[in-house]
Amino acid sequence: MNEQIELLRQRDQFYARARRSVPAARRFAEWSLSYWGLTDWERSADVLLCVSELVTNAVVHGVPPGRGCFLLRLRRDGTVVRVEVHDSGTGVPQVAHPGLDEGGRGLLLVSALSDKWGVGERNPGKIAWCEFALT
């Protein structure tokens, strides 16, 4: 019974190391928010943008060739929606300072739109995450 309740609060999906995974992950996140009744939540667009940014980072930087996939996990815990992207790459993502370069602003957006964000350890790799309060 607890397993079934847990599945209702957490949605997991694996994706290939391919650019087409970004819109697919965004659709999965949109479906998950709808499943939880959060389609009209004022922060749903922020969640979807952060999913796109974290997934793009995993595709471009986080999944080494030959390892092929990463995990997107969306979780609703009471008053928080948490987005996690698990990849097998090395290195720690950091917020880029805005400049003249194209790109590199994904984590700047994540830090501006979410209430909290960070990077956790995983073996191999890391978990990039962000959270949004439902209040």
Torsion of CA 88, 80, 116, 105, to 10 degrees: 60
What's the pLDDT at 37? 94
- Token output for 83: 């987005």
What's the pLDDT at 104? 64
Question: CA-CA distances (angstroms) from residue 14 to 40, 55, 56, 95, 107?
Answer: 26, 11, 14, 25, 21
What's the pLDDT at 93? 72
Q: What is the pTM of this model?
A: 0.88
pLDDT < 50 stretches in the chain: 1
What's the pLDDT at 103? 60
User: What backbone phi and psi angles, to 5 degrees, belong to 6?
Assistant: -60, -40
DSSP tag of 44: H
- Token output for 76: 């609703």
Strand partners, 77: 80
Q: Give the C-alpha separation, 77 to 6, whole Å.
A: 10
